[in-house]
Structure 1
Amino acid sequence: MEDALLLGGNCSVRRGEAHEEVEELLALAGVGGRREVADAAALRDLADDRLGFVASHTQVSRRAQEEVLLAGVQSAVDEGQADQQTELLVGGHGRGKYKSRFQRLRRSRILLPLRVLHLYSNHKLTGPAELALETVRALALRGVDARFFSSDVKEQGGRTRRVQRTARERGVPEAELTGLRLPKHISPLRALLDVRALRSHLRADPPDVVHCHLPGDHLVAGLAARGLGVPVVRTLYDGTPPPPTARRRLAWGRLTRVLICASEAVAQAVRDRAEDYGIDPVRVVHFAPPIDVRRFDPTRGLAPRREALGVPEDAFCVGIVARMQTHRRFELLFEAVRRARAEAPSLHLVVVGRGTHQELVARRPVEELGLGDCVHFSGYVSGEDYARTLASFDAKVFLVPGSDGTCRAVREALAMGVPVVATRRGMLPELVRDGEDGLLVDETPAALAEALVTLARDPERRRVLAAEARRGAVERFAYEVLAERLEGLYRDLPTGA
Structure 2
Amino acid sequence: MKPDDRIRVMEIIARMNVGGPATQVAALCERLDPREFDHRLYTGYVDGGEGDHLQLRDEKIPVHRVPGLGRAIKPADDYRALLRLVRAMREFQPHIVHTQGTKAGALGRLAAGMWGGGAARVHVFHGHLLHDDVSRLRRAAYRRAERFLARRSDRLVTVAARLRDDLLATGIGRPEQYVVIPPGVELGPLPSRAAARESLGVPPDAPVVAYVGRLKRSKRPDRFVEVARLVLERMPKCRFLMCGSGELKEDVERAAMPVWDSFRLLGWRRDVETVYAAADVLLLTSDSEGTPLALVEAGMAGVPAVATRVGGVPEVVQDRYTGLLCEPDAAELAGLTLRLLDDPGLSRRLGDSARRWAARAFAADRLVADTEALYRSLRGPARAGVGSR
Shared fold, TM over 0.5:
yes
TM-score (norm 2): 0.80
Per the TM alignment, residue 186 of structure 1 is displaced from its structure 2 partner at its CA by: 4.9
In the TM superposition, what whole-angstrom CA distance separates every residue of 1:99-147 from its partner, at most 9, and x where no partner exists?
xxxxxxxxxxxxx332211011236445423332233223247853211
Per the TM alignment, residue 480 of structure 1 is displaced from its structure 2 partner at its CA by: 1.2
Partner residue, 1:218: 105
Change (3 A) 1:210 1:164: farther
Partner residue, 2:135: none
Choose the corresponding residue for 2:167, options 236, 245, 270.
270
Structure 2 residue runs of 5 or longer lacking an equivalent are: 132-138
CA distance in structure 2 between the aligned counterparts of 1:420 and 1:302, rounded to whole angstroms: 17
Mapped contact 1:317–1:347 kept (Cα < 8 A): yes
Per the TM alignment, residue 194 of structure 1 is displaced from its structure 2 partner at its CA by: 3.9
Change (3 A) 1:492 1:412: same
Mapped contact 1:222–1:256 kept (Cα < 8 A): yes
Change (3 A) 1:167 1:439: closer
Partner residue, 1:128: 21
Identity %: 26
| Corresponding position: 1:399 with 2:311 | no
Mapped contact 1:333–1:448 kept (Cα < 8 A): yes
Partner residue, 1:380: 267
Mapped contact 2:211–2:283 kept (Cα < 8 A): yes
CA distance in structure 2 between the aligned counterparts of 1:256 and 1:325, rounded to whole angstroms: 30
Choose the corresponding residue for 2:204, options 313, 335, 339.
313
CA distance in structure 2 between the aligned counterparts of 1:301 and 1:311, rounded to whole angstroms: 13
Greater alpha carbon shift after TM alignment, 197-206 vs 464-473: 197-206
Change (3 A) 1:122 1:324: closer
SS of corresponding position for 1:311: coil
Partner residue, 2:156: 259
CA distance in structure 1 between the aligned counterparts of 2:210 and 2:362, rounded to whole angstroms: 21
CA distance in structure 2 between the aligned counterparts of 1:414 and 1:361, rounded to whole angstroms: 29
Change (3 A) 1:143 1:427: same
CA distance in structure 2 between the aligned counterparts of 1:302 and 1:339, rounded to whole angstroms: 25
Change (3 A) 1:436 1:350: same
CA distance in structure 1 between the aligned counterparts of 2:16 and 2:92, rounded to whole angstroms: 25
Change (3 A) 1:313 1:171: same
SS of corresponding position for 1:245: helix
Per the TM alignment, residue 307 of structure 1 is displaced from its structure 2 partner at its CA by: 3.0
Mapped contact 2:17–2:53 kept (Cα < 8 A): no
Per the TM alignment, residue 485 of structure 1 is displaced from its structure 2 partner at its CA by: 0.6
- Matches of residues 23-38 of structure 1 in structure 2 within 5 Å? none
Partner residue, 2:123: 234
Per the TM alignment, residue 439 of structure 1 is displaced from its structure 2 partner at its CA by: 0.7
Per the TM alignment, residue 151 of structure 1 is displaced from its structure 2 partner at its CA by: 1.1
Mapped contact 2:100–2:125 kept (Cα < 8 A): yes
Mapped contact 1:347–1:456 kept (Cα < 8 A): no
Change (3 A) 1:314 1:194: closer
Mapped contact 1:239–1:262 kept (Cα < 8 A): no
Mapped contact 1:340–1:452 kept (Cα < 8 A): no
Partner residue, 2:136: none
Mapped contact 1:309–1:378 kept (Cα < 8 A): no
- Matches of residues 1-80 of structure 1 in structure 2 within 5 Å? 50-52=1-3, 62=4
Mapped contact 2:158–2:164 kept (Cα < 8 A): yes
| Corresponding position: 1:491 with 2:376 | yes
Per the TM alignment, residue 462 of structure 1 is displaced from its structure 2 partner at its CA by: 1.9
Letter in 2 for 1:305: A
SS of corresponding position for 1:282: helix
Larger-gyration structure (1/2): 1
Change (3 A) 1:319 1:304: farther
Per the TM alignment, residue 285 of structure 1 is displaced from its structure 2 partner at its CA by: 2.4
Choose the corresponding residue for 1:333, options 227, 247, 265.
227
